[in-house]
Structure 1
Amino acid sequence: MLIKTSASGFIHPVSSEITPQGIYRSRRELIKLMAGGAAGAALASWAGREALAQTVAKPGKLAALAGARSAVAGAVTMEKITDYKDASSYNNFYEFGTDKSDPARNAHTLKTTPWTVEVEGLVKKPAKYTLEDLLKLSAQEERIYRLRCVEGWSMVIPWVGYSLAELINKVEPLGNARYIEFITQADPKTMPYVGSRVLDWPYVEALRLDEAMHPLTLLAFGMYGEVLPNQNGAPVRLVVPWKYGFKSGKSIVKIRFTDREPKTAWNKAAANEYGFYSNVNPNVDHPRWSQATERRIGEDGLFAKKRKTLMFNGYEAQVGQLYAGMDLKKYY
């Protein structure tokens, strides 16, 4: 180590010369891993995210989208919010690549204007909504939700949007409507991994109607007081906080009401691993790993102590009644 000195002794470095604590710790952890011979695909992915996170835009670079703090029960957690750089650089969005750092690197190609969302199926008032129409439909709220991913990591993100129920009530579902299907944009010109064999495109997710009507189910247009970054599902996405993150479809272009349980993207790809409901349930393991604990992104890197996974991601008091009497190991 080189220490700057002068005739009078030690010279204090300027702030720009001091390694931030988070980066310092990350480097130490990398050294530990390399010394132990643990370098591999997981380490490469993690190191790539750390490097990319230093270049991701901070809040203030995108258009502002503020919302009043939500009064919906359970919509605001008091947990520490995940840093923007982490939430916008560590993402699952397979249309832009399968590595966690790929979406932030590749999603600049996504064209979000103009944008329309078509609502069809078993509704009295099918319609095409422009993004501007959707934004005018209801007042924007800020909701600070936990996000739990099936791979075992979690975040706490301040989303901006409103309850999906506002749109559902607007289109007036028919009496035989039981499910809602959410279809994501699938444009190979602007989404370079559409057409890969990873999934059957377009990406499709779905909810029961009562799940979609729950006040916590959010139609989101922003996060951290700004419009959504492309890699986080711009310009409009779903956020269902008590389910694993892949249930919250991104870059939605179509919403379809149906009387039958839809086939969803991950359920079609691996039904034994990804059930239709996909509620966060620490008592139901993924076939290849435990779901009993989780790692909160941004908490001192790879060696942070894991957290105990909460039933329904901590929203049991709000949503548990939706599944009264169901066998949640069978309907996983």
Structure 2
Amino acid sequence: MSKPIKSSEITPEALYLSRRRFIKNTLTMAAVSLYLSACGNQSPAGPTAQPTDSLPLPSAGASVDELGNTLTSYDDIIGYTNYYEFSTDKNGPTRLAQNFKTSPWSVEVGGYVNNARSFSIDELKSLFDQEERIYRMRCVEAWSMVIPWVGFSLHKLLEIVEPTSDARFVRFETLYDPDQMPGQRNSFFPFPYIEGLRLDEAMHDLTIMATGLYGRDLSPQNGAPLRLVVPWKYGFKSIKSIVKIDLVGEMPTSLWMASGPNEYGFYANVNPNVPHPRWSQATERRIGEGGRIDTLLFNGYEEEVAYLYDGMDLSIDF
């Protein structure tokens, strides 16, 4: 049985520690800049995002992940997104989400816990060291990216609220606000967006709550101000703009399970051996690069997470 790896083992320890110092300094400077900008020019819907060409170039602590994959460019990450609350087009969210209000923001954490409470986004950033995690992201649509996220392990948040013995799953919920998120008026999808993890998946050290990427706060189209990232699962599991987290006893029904139960299961583990009903999952297209590459079981994190599914038939529990 493999043990969950520590953050410092993903990259050399010296580089890991230097990144953390860099990120803390970067986020501090970014906060000051955003505060000054908001004081001088703020729309009724909240601060307007600055054009990317007016900001310093983003930086990450490394140029490749642990497998040697080159990081996806910042412009590709913020310009090519799936965020159906805004639009079903890949570039639609970049345009439609720019005035999305992300402050003030709070996240309610409750259910089967001893210490239910609400956290502001500022509290979450101050309570937990914001670490850089370079993860591969594999979309169920067979495209992928390599992203330097900034955030903290979800288990640290869950440990504060203390799940009870009745908690078996974690249910996540996105903000429901059609006035800001026009895609939520699409009646095909049962908004608000719901996702879930088994408790042991949520407690795994690789599972993070992301607050930024490339050393900056998350952009609205990437799930600001807080999103889940589970790197061994297809991207739709990594729910965005979270406002509610509940510890529950029964498996949650996610939005995609409700929308297409024959195509989307609860686990959504990256598995090249189990095709989607409408396409193969054996290969993927890396955004910003040419050609296709082989898809890895559990997105290349098999050594760290395979033990979570011992005894399961992953062609049935998909």
Shorter-chain TM-score bucket reads 0.7 to 0.9
Alpha-carbon distance in 2 for matches of 1:60, 1:272? 44
Equivalent residue of 2:122, what SS? helix
Q: 1:287 maps to which residue?
A: 277
Distance 1:248 1:76 in 2: 21
One-letter amino acid matched to 1:86: D
| SS at structure 2 position matched to 1:193 | helix
Q: Quick check: 1:56–1:88 contact (8 Å CA) kept in 2? A: no
Structure 1 match to 2:266:
276
Work out whether 1:218 is the aligned partner of 2:208.
yes
How far residue 194 of structure 1 moved from its aligned partner, in angstroms, is: 1.0
Q: Name the % identity.
A: 54
What secondary structure is seen at the aligned counterpart in 2 of 1:277?
coil
- Give the TM-score, by structure 1 length: 0.77
Partners of 1:58 and 1:176 in 2: CA distance: 50
Which sections of structure 1, spanning at least 5 residues, go unmatched? 1-54, 70-74
- Aligned mates of 1:88, 1:67 — CA distance in 2: 15
Per the alignment, do residues 196 and 138 of structure 1 end up closer, same or farther by CA in structure 2, a change over 3 Å counting? same
* CA separation of 1:316 and 1:58: change in aligned 2, threshold 3 A: farther
Q: Is the 8 A contact 2:173 2:242 kept in 1?
A: yes
Q: Please state how far the C-alpha of 1:197 moved relative to its aligned partner.
A: 1.8
Paired position in structure 2 for 1:322: 308
- What residue in structure 2 maps to residue 171 of structure 1? 161
How much does 1:108 deviate? Answer: 1.2
Contact 2:60 2:214 in 1 (8 A): no
Q: Per-residue deviation at 1:58?
A: 5.1
2:237 matched to 1:247?
yes
Cα RMSD of the aligned pairs, angstroms, is 1.9
Q: 2:296 aligns with which of 310, 327, 332?
A: 310
Cα deviation, residue 60, structure 1: 3.1
Correspondence for 2:111: 121
Match of 1:29 in 2: none
1:191 and 2:186 correspond: no
The 1:59/1:235 distance shift into structure 2, 3 A limit, reads farther
The one-character-per-residue Cα deviations of 1:225-271 (angstroms, maximum 9, x if unpaired) are 00000000000000000000000000000001100001100000001
Tell me the equivalent position of 2:55.
Answer: 60
Match of 2:317, as an amino acid? Answer: Y
Tell me the CA shift for residue 56 of structure 1: 6.5
Aligned residue for 1:261?
A: 251
1:281/1:312 contact within 8 Å kept? yes
1:15 corresponding residue in structure 2: none
Q: Deviations 1:82-117 (Å, cap 9, x if unpaired)?
A: 011101110000011001011101001310000000
Q: Which amino acid aligns with 1:269?
A: S
Tell me the alpha carbon deviations over residues 212-237 of structure 1, each in whole angstroms, 9 at most, x when there is no partner.
00000011000000000000000000
* TM superposition score normalised by structure 2: 0.81
Q: Give, in whole Å, the separation in 2 of the partners of 1:87 and 1:143.
A: 15
Partner of 1:82: 72
1:234 corresponds to which residue? 224
Distance of 2:211 and 2:202 partners within structure 1: 17
Shift of 1:77: 4.9
Residue of structure 2 in register with 1:208 after alignment: 198
Q: Is the 8 A contact 1:247 1:278 kept in 2?
A: yes
Larger Rg: 1
Mapped pair 1:104 → 2:94: yes
Q: Is the 8 A contact 1:293 1:308 kept in 2?
A: yes
For residues 68-91 of structure 1, give each alpha carbon's deviation from its aligned partner in whole angstroms, at most 9, with x where no partner exists. 89xxxxx85532000111011100
Indicate how the Cα distance of structure 1 residues 253 and 90 shifts in structure 2: closer, same or farther if over 3 A, else same: same
Query: 2-side partners of 1:121 and 1:60: how far apart?
Result: 41
When residues 217 and 171 of structure 1 are mapped into structure 2, their CA distance, relative to the original with a 3 A threshold, is: same
Q: What's the CA shift for 1:178? A: 0.2
Note the C-alpha offset of 1:305.
1.9
CA deviations on 1:6-35 (whole Å, 9 max, x unpaired) are xxxxxxxxxxxxxxxxxxxxxxxxxxxxxx
Where do 1:21-40 residues align within 5 Å? none
Moved over 2 A (4+): 58-62, 66-69, 75-78
Which AA in structure 2 matches 1:316? E
Is the partner of 1:268 in helix, strand or coil? helix
